Structure 1
Amino acid sequence: MTEYPQLTQTVLDTTGPRELAEFYRQLLGWSYRPGDEPPADGAPDEPDWLVLRGPGGGNGLAFQRVDRLPRTTWPEHDVPMQLHLDFTVSSPAELRRQRERAESLGAALLLDRYDDPDEPLYVFADPSGHPFCVFVA
């Protein structure tokens, strides 16, 4: 039997792990890994590493503190995106609803292809500048 490595999580660099984790927690409806929740007593919170997990388990997202993070200049290639996340929704109406949610949480719209008949989608930048797409499955 051949064994292969299993993907555990995708790690995003950020200068603000808690802020970025909160953005994705609210966007995706995921939960913190036990022990990674914000302090309940409001104590100072400057974590170097946080992990979110989906409701059914599986792969997660992790957030790692870095001192600086140049924002991608996509669609220009001066600073390439190097990685982006793809998320799907069930319908064009849901796509529009998720655009409103993402922007209300702090995402910036980079590309609007809502009217594309073959693949309606939006490309956003999260609060740390990482691109992500939401499109109709």
Structure 2
Amino acid sequence: MPPPPLKLAAITLDCADPVALAAFYRQATGFEPHPKSDAEFSGLTRGDGLFIGFQRVDGYRTPQWPGQDVPQQIHLDFEVDDLDAAEAMLLELGAVRPGHQPLGGDRVRVLLDPAGHPFCLTLP
């Protein structure tokens, strides 16, 4: 008998400030705050139940991208219709555009969230 398919239910990112990182992703995605969020663990939920969590880690070290001195730890991809408009909005919210961008810059952009996690914007 084959195993049941897996359904992604949650993604959790380590960070130094869960409340601040949740606020960034709330503005970026429109997900709603989880009612039990606090300074140690904050979360956001989407209507279909997908949950993104942000947990406080003492001594958190910002990932280094593209280098691996401090590994990325996680990498999120977001599909957008307009790379320039999405990038501008996210930069205004506190994201940072690193100096190194992968090949295919006309279809993908790498940004860093306020805790330093790299994430991609991609065209459909």
TM bucket (normalised to shorter chain) is: 0.7 to 0.9
2:73 maps to what in 1?
82
Alpha-carbon deviation of 1:7?
A: 2.6
Count of aligned pairs: 122
Structure number with larger C-alpha Rg? 1
TM norm structure 1:
0.78
Contact 1:49 1:63 (8 Å CA) reproduced: yes
| Root mean square deviation of aligned Cα | 2.2
Q: 1:7-86, aligned counterparts within 5 Å? A: 7-36=8-37, 47-54=39-46, 56-86=47-77
Larger deviation: 1-10 or 61-70? 1-10
TM norm structure 2:
0.85
2:90 maps to what in 1?
102
What amino acid is the match of 2:77? D
Larger deviation: 120-129 or 5-14? 5-14
Contact 1:114 1:122 (8 Å CA) reproduced: no
What amino acid is the match of 2:94? G
- For 2:10 and 2:57, the matched residues in 1 are separated by 18
2:118 maps to what in 1?
131
What amino acid is the match of 1:134? L
What amino acid is the match of 1:64? Q
Alpha-carbon deviation of 1:115?
A: 6.8
Alpha-carbon deviation of 1:113?
A: 6.0
- For 2:108 and 2:4, the matched residues in 1 are separated by 36
Unaligned runs of 5+ residues in structure 2 are none
